Amino acid sequence: MSIEEGIKNKVILVTGGTGSFGNAVVERLLKLEPKQILVFSRDEKKQLDMANKFPDERIRFLIGDVRDKDRVTYIMKGVDLVFHASALKQVPHCEFFPIEAVLTNIIGAANVINAAVHHGVERVVVLSTDKAVYPINAMGMTKALMERVMIAVGREHHNGTMLCGTRYGNVMYTRGSVIPYFVELMKGGKPIKVTNPNMTRFMMSLQDSVDLVLYALTNGISGEIYVKKSPAATVKTLADAVVSLFDYKGGIEVIGTRPGEKVHETLISSEESVRVEDCGAYFKINPEVPGMDVKKYYFTPAEKPLLPPEGYTSSNTKQLSIEEMKNLLLTLPEIQEELSNRK
């Protein structure tokens, strides 16, 4: 099934739809002739801003919280497709308020998944993160359990609803990410602050993340998780590239690794690598137990892994040079606009 066939004349729900991903995916969906797009979020101001940005009668804005099971079940009626993007994503906030992360990232996701199954929604894609692999912080732990909820419900094939997921790493220039933070520091004449210059992070654009979820939506089978093959860079390379692009003289300050941060991120674990299939631009991670045969979980031997022993990490993928990082940054509309404003 093509993406166009999968979207045309469908009613699509985007939870957390006023965030960076929500804005990007709605813009793309509008070009694919959906019947209606439901944008579900808690923030009426962001909904107003988004309505002004996309004055299209096919978009309907709904106030609510994924934690509210009754509200989620109510708005799910008549929906064909779901992108579940609602989450608490900031690592420090989740560390300080872990129960809030549990309520949104696990319970909220379960509410969306169960409501979709209840109403016979055709296809659901839940958005996860590299931090869910070998999680060392509350945000990653709750996202890992969200994945497990998706896999467990998808394994039972309730009501014909397909449930799959995506994982991605650093999405450049999204709200709260490091690149706009660097830009704001430069505007204020302050040194660019980095935690550990040797840290590596996957690099992908917002449009890459939309491509990934659309691919998962139209190709996914229940329980599968999709990962985009992405390059990576050290934090120092990223900072040096930003400084070079803006010809900034304010310097770089190393402030030290924060609690809950990894030196390298992992998109596919070593244990998952035996269940990986190469899909060209993407990797597909098959679930451990495709059906309901629990014995198969215990007695099926592992296959030869497709990936290195450590899995797919930001240290063993393609590493960007400063010039390559600069070229990648120059593809971002936000960077182009900031550079244009400086002229």
**Tell me, what DSSP letter sits at residue 126?**
E
Q: In what order do the strands lie in the sheet with 232-234?
A: 170-171, 200-204, 232-234
| Integer Cα distance of 275 and 286 in angstroms | 5
Tokens of 282: 């993407």
Q: Is 46 a catalytic residue?
A: no
**Tell me, what DSSP letter sits at residue 301?**
P
- Which residues contact residue 6 at a Cβ distance below 8 angstroms, ignoring those fewer than 6 apart? 81, 123, 214, 217, 218
63: which strand partners?
Answer: 41
Cβ contact 6:217 at 8 Å: yes
Q: Which of 10, 46, 89, 131 is catalytic?
A: 131
Provide, for the chain, the percentages of residues in helix, strand and coil under a 3-state DSSP scheme, each rounded to the nearest 5: 45, 20, 35
- Which residues contact residue 108 at a Cβ distance below 8 angstroms, ignoring those fewer than 6 apart? 65, 66, 67, 72, 86, 87
| Integer Cα distance of 255 and 45 in angstroms | 34
Tokens of 123: 């296809």
Q: What is the DSSP string of 163-216?
A: EEEEEE-EETT-TT-HHHHHHHHHHTTPPEEES-TT-EEEEE-HHHHHHHHHHH
Query: What is the total residue count of the chain?
Result: 343
Q: Which of 331, 323, 89, 317 is nearest to 205 (CA)?
A: 331
Which positions are catalytic?
A: 131
